[in-house]
């Protein structure tokens, strides 16, 4: 069962997260404006991590030096009323991924979709809590291969235009499967955590949820 972190005290402009009920395969509906326009449209965006990406299981911590969402194929921000799929990520590239067994290549099937679950006021500087659905990634080298799938806790900061993926606590929302080799460093059914800070940029302007 998923523990959802929800944003409290939005009206005061401060963010705190508390445990909620199990996650659903959906999120709250928002009016989304990009560059001040809430007309229905799909706006392209790119993103790059500000710092390293941290991964962990109950037995191992490792990381990647960075990750990015490229311009092609285009990932999109959906503007308009009643929007649930706020951000749709259609490709993620990881670099500099290593474990004690050596360097790993990463393939990340997409789309990943950010859904919000906390309130957001028009034109404000809110941190909208939610989750990334459809998270999937496979790590591999000559000695090891494993896949991680599930739903990751996340938030979108309107002030910094930053998508933060922060699945922590080894709750089982992301799970390891398909392990081949790996010298018991990874095991099927293990919970998996991830932390990454993506700076999001759309050529159409600032993203705002209300």
Does 20 have pLDDT greater than 60? no
Lowest mean per-residue pLDDT among 8-17, 64-73, 93-102, 195-204: 8-17
Does 1 have pLDDT greater than 60? no
Mean pLDDT for the stretch of residues 32-46:
97
pLDDT score of 16 = 30
Does 128 have pLDDT greater than 50? yes
pLDDT score of 122 = 82
Does 73 have pLDDT greater than 50? yes
Residue 92: closest CA among 143, 148, 145: 148
Mean pLDDT for the stretch of residues 112-132:
92
């Amino acid at each position: 069962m998923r523990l959802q972190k929800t944003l409290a005290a939005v009206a005061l402009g401060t963010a705190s997260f508390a445990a909620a009920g199990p996650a659903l395969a959906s999120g709250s509906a928002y009016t989304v404006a990009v560059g001040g326009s809430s007309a229905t449209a799909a706006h392209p965006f790119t993103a790059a991590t500000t710092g390293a990406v941290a991964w962990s299981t109950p037995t191992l911590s490792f990381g990647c030096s960075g990750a990015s969402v490229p311009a092609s194929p285009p990932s999109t921000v959906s503007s308009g009323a009643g929007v649930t799929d706020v951000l749709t990520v259609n490709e993620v590239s990881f670099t500099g991924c290593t474990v004690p067994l050596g360097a790993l290549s990463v393939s990340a099937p997409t789309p990943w979709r950010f859904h919000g679950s906390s309130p957001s006021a028009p034109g404000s500087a809110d941190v909208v809590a939610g989750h990334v659905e459809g998270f999937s990634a496979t790590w591999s080298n000559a000695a090891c291969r494993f896949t991680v799938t599930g739903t990751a806790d996340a938030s979108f900061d309107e002030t910094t235009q930053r998508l933060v993926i922060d699945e922590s606590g080894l709750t089982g929302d992301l799970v390891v499967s398909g392990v081949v080799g790996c010298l018991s460093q990874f095991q099927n059914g293990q919970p998996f955590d991830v932390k990454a800070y993506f700076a999001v940029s759309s050529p159409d302007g600032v993203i705002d949820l209300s």
